[in-house]
Amino acid sequence: MVSPAVPLLVLGLIDASFSGFRAYAGRDARIRKRRAVVRSAGRGLGVGAVLLLAPVLTACGILAVAGDSGRAYAVLAAGAVGYLLPIAVYAAVVALSFAGYFLLPFRVSTLAVVMGLGPLTLVRPLVLVAACAGAVLNGGGWAGLAVGVVAAAAVLTVEPVVHRRWYRFALSPGGRGVVR
């Protein structure tokens, strides 16, 4: 059976790619910018891969200091399942919104933006709070909560890190930033 940590990591890395895109979006007024978009997603992925080591190391630390590592693993696995549930629902809604946005005619695709993608960006922190609650409620205990909080912090940190590192330049008439 696949550890629940695997889908969580995959979703975390996908989210990191989108965070990289969001960090870039709104900083480049060119019309043709597909390459820059892909680059920003890659930057998000890279930063996310590093930051997501934090919850992995936290979980490893908990397992290392636990007297009964088998039981500690079971508790963490239960917490991970509880953590995964709200995130999986959120990811499914996001995926549905994206499908609507890219596949439907432009007028209907606005609906996917207005009802989906815009509000979904805003509720990300709430989804992570729900995920932490899910970890506790599903038997993850304090250990599951600790790993969940660290993971949530890591996920929410990707966008500001990418923005500060690559896209926080001054757009001034005298010295405009050029997005690469």
Among 122, 132, 142, 151, binds another protein (CB under 8 A): 122
Options 27, 46, 85, 141; binder of another protein; rule CB under 8 A: 27
- Segment 161 to 180, residues that bind another protein, using CB under 8 A: 170-174, 176
13 forms part of the interface with another protein (CB under 8 A): no
Stretch in the footprint of another protein (CB under 8 A) among 21-29, 59-67, 83-91, 140-148: 21-29
Length of the chain: 180
Task: Kindly state whether residue 111 participates in binding another protein, applying the rule CB under 8 A.
Answer: yes
Interface with another protein: number of residues (CB under 8 A): 28
Task: Measure the CA–CA gap between 111 and 33, rounded to whole angstroms.
Answer: 24
Angle between helices 124-135 and 141-162 (to 10 degrees): 160
Closest CA to 139 of 81, 90, 87, 89: 81
Alpha-carbon span 8 to 156, nearest angstrom: 15
CB of 128 to another protein, least distance (A): 16
Told to check if 103 binds another protein by CB under 8 A, we report: no
Minimum CB separation from another protein for residue 120, in Å?
A: 9
The residue whose two tokens read 């990300």 is 124
Please give the Cα distance from 15 to 159 (Å, whole number).
10
Count CB atoms within 10 A of the CB of residue 56: 17
Binding site for another protein (CB under 8 A): 25-32, 106-111, 113-115, 117-119, 121-122, 170-174, 176
